[in-house]
Amino acid sequence: QVQLVQSGAEVKKPGASVKVSCKASGYTFTSYYMHWVRQAPGQGLEWMGIINPSGGSTSYAQKFQGRVTMTRDTSTSTVYMELSSLRSEDTAVYYCAREGARPPGYYYYYYYMDVWGKGTTVTVSS
């Protein structure tokens, strides 16, 4: 079955970086884009960006430009999200989410997210 397995919880100090992994299984890794979405405690969902596992191209939300880096390793079917210069406001659950298959003639910028990881809790505290 299709699965996204994320790495475990992290506790970081302000100014540090965190790298979260998301290992895909049950489908062809390079055929589906992957998004990262975060959710601060008690808050809504916030899109961070997208990576194309096939070629590695990325697009980031403006808010995270310069602080986020998304990469992939096709040999292990894993995508990574690294966030630097952490501050307390970055305390959140970070999700990876597979994008649905784009149909022929597709013309939107992106698509919906059909499979989600369970999330990785990142706590930023001094």
Partner 1 sequence: AIQLTQSPSSLSASVGDRVTITCRASQGISSALAWYQQKPGKAPKLLIYDASSLESGVPSRFSGSGSGTDFTLTISSLQPEDFATYYCQQFNSYAITFGQGTRLEIK
Handedness of CA 24, 72, 103, 46 (dihedral sign): positive
CA distance 46 to 67: 15
Residue 68 interacts with partner 1 (CB under 8 A)? no
Binding segment toward partner 1, per CB under 8 A, in 21-29, 66-74, 76-84, 108-116: 108-116
- Tokens representing 115 are 């499979």
The answer to whether residues 18 and 82 touch, using CB atoms and an 8 Å cutoff, is yes
CA distance 99 to 113: 4
Residue 8 interacts with partner 1 (CB under 8 A)? no
Least gap, CB of 16 to partner 1 (angstroms): 25
Least gap, CB of 15 to partner 1 (angstroms): 27
Per CB under 8 A, which of residues 14..53 are in contact with partner 1? 35, 37, 44-47
CA distance 36 to 94: 7
Least gap, CB of 9 to partner 1 (angstroms): 13
Judged by the rule CB under 8 A, the positions of this chain that interact with partner 1 are 35, 37, 44-47, 59, 61-62, 95, 97, 100, 108-114, 116-119
